[in-house]
Amino acid sequence: MASTIDKPFKTYEEQIQILESRNVIIEDRDDAIRQLKEFSYYTLVNGYKDTFFSVPGTDSFRPGTRFDELLTLHLIDLSINSIIMKYILALENALKTRISYIVASRFGTEFNDIPQNTNTSNDYLSPLNYSQNGNHRSITNSFVNKVKRDINWKRNHPNDCRSEAVAHYLRVHNHLPPWILTTELTFYQATEWYRILKKPEKEIINDEFLSGFPNVSSLSYDEKTEFLTQAFSLLRKFRNMIAHNHKTFLAKPNIFLPKRSYLRLTQGTVSEREYNDDFGKSDLYAILNCCILLINTRYLISALLDDLTHVFSPYEDAKICDKTVKEIFGLPEDILERLRIIAIAKFATGSNQTP
């Protein structure tokens, strides 16, 4: 005997009826159906049912909840996520660019695709070029061997390369320089490459990302490295959540920006009390801070602030279920002012200039 399906198919009309039975006010049924066709019931409704909209312990929404409020919140969510994704991708590219530059300048542009190769004369991916301390030895060997296996496979399957540049170099040229290799690497692989760099190379990258702040000199090499490692991990986590349509404003992954360095770099805009209360520690607010802290061109910083202003300005006086839009998204009401303070401090010395 077939088991009873607990989530059977429902027509759009039936979905409307379910919404109304759960206290959602629908003023225009035809428009609501159009929105359900665009965004789906799961995205518009289930995505927010565990928030302040819901009646705890039930599938019902708070009396007075309007369908257009759910739609508005989702559209704001989409806008914020598109902004975050744009600047996370910019930082991913910045990390890859810095790694490929320092690796090429120190170790050359050739590599030997034999795993476990230790000849550093013609191999920028030789494990000996990278950290061998403690558990870094296994991490280094794992990274190098995986990248070399991937390159070997792509050499034999050039049509399956994600990057046209990599396919072209493997087909036409006799080497694959680091700046071409990085176009095929994931953000995770780029962060692993950063992780296994030795101190002299890592110091250069640390200083390039964090230069300009008046109190950055008070941070040790280890503190800078820990901050960047955690920041890249958090950025990567949110990047993946956005790509899979998760609600980032609800997310608080178990990845924390280190307290001392983070509070110093944010110029007092994140208080110790807020950090201890998990506000700005691993959430959407933390991601925006990471973007402002790590982006190193005035143009991109200005564009980020303009993008956020464009999203929030229409809702300055609006409330949804007695909450402001910024409150809903776990952001301080003065978020733009806080981010500007960090940006001003970052560029105060004139060490960071727009290319």
Q: Where are the domains of the chain?
A: 14-65, 75-109+177-346
DSSP summary character for residue 2: P
Long-range contact set of residues 9-12: C-beta below 8 Å, sequence gap at least 24: 10/41, 12/36, 12/37
Tokens describing residue 65: 């909840």
Residues 6+ positions from 144 with CB-CB distance below 8 Å:
115, 125, 126, 127, 130
155, 160, 162, 163: CA torsion to nearest 10: 40
The amino acid present at 277, given as its one-letter code, is D
What pLDDT is recorded for position 355? Answer: 33
Q: What pLDDT, in 10s, does the model give residues 83-121? A: 999 999 999 999 999 999 999 999 998 887 766 666 667
Residues of the chain with pLDDT under 50: 1, 351, 353-355
DSSP summary character for residue 76: H
Cα-only R_g, the chain: 24
- For strands 323-324 and 319-320, give the pairing: antiparallel
- Residue 45 to residue 36: CA distance in whole angstroms: 9
What pLDDT is recorded for position 237? Answer: 95
DSSP summary character for residue 25: B
Residues 6+ positions from 75 with CB-CB distance below 8 Å:
none
Predicted TM-score of the model (pTM): 0.90
The amino acid present at 237, given as its one-letter code, is K
Q: Confirm if 122 and 114 have CB atoms less than 8 A apart.
A: no
